[in-house]
Chains A and B, each alone.
Chain A
Amino acid sequence: MTAPLLDVRDLCVAFRSRRGATPVVRNLSFSVGAGETVAIVGESGSGKSVTALSLMRLIEREGGAVTGGEMLFRPHDGPAVDLARLDEPAMRAIRGNAMSMIFQEPMTSLNPVLTIGEQVAEVLLAHRGIGAREAERAALAVLDEVQLTDPERRMRQYPHELSGGMRQRVMIAIALACRPRLLIADEPTTALDVTIQAGILDLIRALQQQTGTSVIFITHDMGVVAEMADRVVVMRQGEHVETARTADLFAAPQATYTRALLAAVPRLGAGAPIYAVPRAGRAEDAGDTGEVLRVEGLVTRFPIRKGPFRRHVANVHAVEDVSLTLRRGETLGLVGESGSGKSTIGRSILRLVEPTTGRILICGRDVTGLSQQAVRPLRRHAQMVFQDPYASLNPRLPVHELVTEPLAIHDRLPAPARREIAAELMRRVGLPADSLDRYPHQFSGGQRQRLAIARALSSRPRVIVADEPVSALDVSVQDQVIALMRELQDEFGIAYLFISHDLAVVERMSHRVAVLDRGRIVETGPTDAVLSDPRHPYTRDLLAAVPVADPALRHGPRRLALRERRSPINPVGFTPPAQHFAEAGPGHLVAV
């Protein structure tokens, strides 16, 4: 092998604070050959993003510094330079030119007041020494390369006029405009829907083949790694764990940590849980059908108001004619991409948003006609767990008050009694009971989600609506939280409405699934039946787009039908045509 394009040796990075330097990357060594794709994987806090920023020497902006080691890079044919020792002007000549970077958040990494054309032309002007006219022509060519539709028009548009996927394409165009030798992609698809992600991954791969660029792919997603990388560097808490060829890593991981990480990755096709009527039945439930939630013809629309008189000009059709049922101890997975209305369904059921029409029965009680005041006592039967464990817990409440809040509300229990129950709940969700006086910020993300579950559990609800409860967590933590939720289900016979965009997670949790597209259920049925035998084209697209954590099953370039996303905004009084379902198997319904 010829000398590598990038050779990192014993890299150390530290953040300085008043309490001294905190090392975040320790003695990391790896290399990237020409045209090679190397993935750096790890969970949060592993130092993978810090490594990427250090290579670009952007880490100084974040308050960190390279404290040791070298990063030998060949910006052009000839001798390598040590990136760790370059001064700022020399670094500037490399950034965006010989080495460039794509960031995670396509919504904020473009400047909102400059047109797309200006932003792409900017790098060309900075590094190519060409005129404005020429740069514009070159920018147009690059936008065409990243397969943006109608590039002439995009040139004149501003970032807010583009969707997330289109913006990420623009970011890639900017990164590749000067034909860099090395592209660093820091979680470039994490914020995107799976079908959009599939398109972006295909694009990066195609461009890499065309231009011979090397790629460092930073990700937490083993599926993406299996799809993209030639070699993998596994990191944990700032330390190098293992480097291996992708196929070898997945086939025979050497390090214990890598094995645990791979074992925790939810894999699509691993099989769904089988529903059994739970033993934990209650006396008053005996003899009934066990149905704890029934939703009939739920429609939720949000009015759009304009003008000085706030005239009602149109409706956003968030949920259209959704019906579902949930039995005791059962999990129904709601799957869909962003904007599919899955969260709105959950929130409508709990009357956190007002449904437009439809009937919702919780434990047989119709809650649709009730006033907010009358709904309140019923809330004890249906609790919710939210996605963001950082924002969904009041930072000012100590844990013992936080997890027993439903009891304070519904049973008006005095503080000492609540404290006792809180200790019991903490034990049940696997948190130390002596942490009752701590505050939410003193817990990690996974622990916080356990707190949220404990809170939901405290009023002994029949139904818990879990809105992306594990999406913000690392895979290993994700795995534990899912296991906990299933345990609690067996023990208490709780029914979950499990909302997620992640098909593999939904499969692990759900007895049945419902696939949502633009506010409607397009396919529903037993999890195994729907996932192994998808009938609706949308379900098929969704399944095809999921990256598989197995390099042997790597997708070829996918031909996903590029569906034009129809706007969910309709004029007032518009009623969409009714939906009809065909039966594809026992309980397996497909929209026709």
Chain B
Amino acid sequence: MSTIETSSTLRHTAFVLRGNPVTAVAAGGALLLALIAIFAPWLAPYDPIASEVSVALQPPSAAHWAGTDQLGRDVLSRLIVASRLDLTIAVTAVAVSFALGSVIGALCGYSGGRLDKAVGRFVDVLMAFPLFVLAMAMVAALGNRVENIVIATAIINLPFYIRFARAEVNIRRNLGWVEAARACGESHVAVVLRFLLPNVLPAMAVQMSLNLGWAILNAAGLSFIGLGVKPPTPEWGIMVAEGARFISTGRWWLVAFPGFALMFAVLCFNLLGDGLRDILDPRMRT
């Protein structure tokens, strides 16, 4: 990519963000989350694991903005440190499934034929499970560890990327400019990887951002039911699970704050995904 194009992309991004404040706010939120995750150890006011029973189950106060849990640990500190783990799981899983899924899907969509059929069957089998149940079963089978949550999340995301890339490539494969690239001396593989894939990427990026939110929910759900992450590791899903015991007695902050953190993260990525669609579509550049 030339420098001219990069600067025009930046200018276009600025232009779109100005006309689309929601996306700007969402992008800001996502950035904030990333920064919090990176600087978590320095930001957390208390040790997230140290318990102090004397201050157990205190509602939000000046000393503990988000209250304390049943062991007297500071909820806010745990929330901040947990962002690292939650974001890492989601980003890694989505990156893996995106990288594999887009290439496989694009090749299938372009070539059709036997490869397409075989991959289609595989995707059908994957999609024949309710995906959360599939993830659950995989974590159970592979072993109750964080890496396996990443793998399971990546695998259940894979079919979406394959199908998406396949469909997007399929509608483009007979367009004039694709045939023109072949007439200009490109091989089939080059056409897929260097021409079709870059054109499909904007739509995939949208999918990716939306998927990040979904992956966060999925990972949190798995740890909520006791898979993957083990206490006392701070993680949003586990924090909700631990707080659940106290909701009937009105200790709302134990559920509400991690719940809000989850919601905020997912909301940012979802809104960002919608906004990205506008930014990356070159047809909207003026």
Partners in one complex: no
B residues at A contact (CB < 8 Å): none
A residues at B contact (CB < 8 Å): none
